[in-house]
A and B are shown apart, each in its own frame.
Chain A
């Protein structure tokens, strides 16, 4: 059957901003870029707690959880969000976790070891992010 009518291939992405910083321009630009590459982006807005983000990821059954933090609290917040997701059965095996923000390389490594598939910094091209998502979503175990 043609995917243009059933759209089984539609990628759904949650874009969320945890923590207290209100700088959501980056998150919005990424959301817009993913939209323009044909994905459905659920945008939650700013100041989300880990539980709020995990609950939104669960209810929306997204393929991708993309988080943006610019306050420097990423090592604090990202793992807590991952935990809140894991408690709900949402894991790096069945969902792509992406981080973004002002994140030093050594911190990016820590996050990648924790389960984040990739971390994108200020120099990242939005097109590369969309391409990354497309390349990695099909490998997820969503049976």
Chain B
């Protein structure tokens, strides 16, 4: 039980050295700090606290969409466009953890091989580790560290998303939804959730039949949206051939400029901060609950609920009372 430390003004010798190496561009130091940050290690929190004032400069772009829609390939192609412009790129790619073993296969790199030899691209794969919104709990912290390290653009690729994994909208400045043709009829595009969070809509694999119909369906959907001052552009692409990617990047640029000129950037940043504080606080409360109210008590309450002696709401209140 260590967590609730107050902010020390300075890092201890070894951590200070690691921070210095990271800030001077040492990729291995960056990789180690990311590991600590990801696993909730106290050293990671200390370094993040020291680095945080340096973050807030990177552009962040999230990519979401169904499994197999082409998110990794689009991420790879977008990274190439930003590199061609001379910008440095960080990539955070998230794949799901097993709900049973917590093991994971992180396979997004398979589509990004050609970026490995570029020292100005840093790719980190994360397992979702039980988080449900398409990201992992540590995603924001990992982005903050890459940002402080000096990456100009950070691409965040979510877990293959269904209809409801919308956390990415809060995590990145611009969210790209990667669609493909033949994903169902227009009713799918009417549904709430993931369709609502896109700032830019990509229609990947647009050499396949049905691409035009997908574009029309999306257009029809957008025409019904209330006017928020931004109409999400629809960009047909063929990611495996790099086709349309330049246009996709330009659509992201346009969204970024709109955020800045409309003043929405500040509101969004505030929302992001608020969201991260509440989710971290929630995690801390849960940890305290397990530690203080106890697992044993939980097992007892669960037994009561399962055998209908108690009900779930009453049991939850009783467990919380143990704090």
Residues of A within 8 A of B (CB): 1-2, 4-8, 10, 12, 31-32, 34-45, 48, 51-52, 55-56, 58-61, 88-90
A35 near B287 (CB under 8 angstroms)? no
13 A–B pairs (Cβ distance < 8 Å), ordered by A = A1-B287, A31-B105, A35-B101, A35-B103, A35-B105, A40-B127, A41-B104, A43-B105, A43-B106, A44-B110, A51-B116, A52-B116, A59-B124
Chain A residues with Cβ below 8 Å from B286 are: 5
Q: Given A7-B102, A59-B124, A60-B125, 20 more contacts at CB 8 Å?
A: A2-B287, A2-B290, A2-B291, A4-B290, A6-B41, A10-B127, A12-B35, A41-B103, A41-B105, A41-B106, A43-B110, A45-B113, A51-B117, A52-B113, A55-B116, A56-B116, A58-B27, A58-B31, A61-B32, A61-B35
**How distant is B119 from chain A, measured CB to nearest CB, in Å?**
9
Chain A residues with Cβ below 8 Å from B3 are: 1
B84 at the interface (CB under 8 A from A): no
CA distance A24 to B286 in the complex (A): 42
- With contacts A40-B127, A51-B116, A55-B117 taken as known, whether A35 is within 8 angstroms of B109 at the C-beta atoms is no
Chain B contact residues (Cβ within 8 angstroms of A): what range? 35 or more
Which A-B residue pairs are the 8 nearest by beta carbons? A6-B40, A45-B110, A35-B103, A61-B31, A38-B101, A52-B116, A8-B39, A61-B35
CA distance A4 to B286 in the complex (A): 11
Chain B residues with Cβ below 8 Å from A56 are: 109, 116, 123
A59 near B103 (CB under 8 angstroms)? no
Chain B residues with Cβ below 8 Å from A4 are: 290
B103 near A38 (CB under 8 angstroms)? yes
- The listed residue with most A CB atoms (<10 A of its CB), out of B41, B101, B105, B129, is B105
CA distance A59 to B113 in the complex (A): 13
Residue-wise, chain B 108-122 has the 8 Å CB interface mask toward A (1 for contact) of 011001001100001
B266 at the interface (CB under 8 A from A): no
**How distant is A90 from chain B, measured CB to nearest CB, in Å?**
8
CA distance A44 to B107 in the complex (A): 7
CA distance A36 to B286 in the complex (A): 27
- The listed residue with most B CB atoms (<10 A of its CB), out of A4, A10, A12, A42, is A42
B98 near A35 (CB under 8 angstroms)? yes
A59 near B105 (CB under 8 angstroms)? no
B300 at the interface (CB under 8 A from A): no
- With contacts A5-B283, A52-B113, A58-B31 taken as known, whether A10 is within 8 angstroms of B106 at the C-beta atoms is no
Residues of B within 8 A of A (CB): 1-3, 27-28, 31-32, 34-35, 39-41, 97-98, 101-107, 109-110, 113, 116-117, 122-125, 127, 129, 283, 286-287, 290-291
Chain A residues with Cβ below 8 Å from B98 are: 35-36, 38
Chain B residues with Cβ below 8 Å from A58 are: 27-28, 31
B105 near A7 (CB under 8 angstroms)? no
Chain B residues with Cβ below 8 Å from A61 are: 31-32, 34-35
Residue from A7, A12, A55 in contact with B40 in the complex, judged by beta carbons closer than 8 Å: A7
A37 near B101 (CB under 8 angstroms)? yes
**How distant is B288 from chain A, measured CB to nearest CB, in Å?**
10
Chain B residues with Cβ below 8 Å from A6 are: 39-41
**How distant is B192 from chain A, measured CB to nearest CB, in Å?**
31
Write the chain B residue with the least CB distance to A53. Answer: B116
A7 near B129 (CB under 8 angstroms)? yes
B34 near A40 (CB under 8 angstroms)? no
Chain A residues with Cβ below 8 Å from B31 are: 58-61
B283 near A42 (CB under 8 angstroms)? no
CA distance A90 to B28 in the complex (A): 9
B109 near A45 (CB under 8 angstroms)? yes
- The listed residue with most B CB atoms (<10 A of its CB), out of A2, A60, A89, is A60
CA distance A8 to B39 in the complex (A): 5
A39 near B106 (CB under 8 angstroms)? no
CA distance A12 to B2 in the complex (A): 25
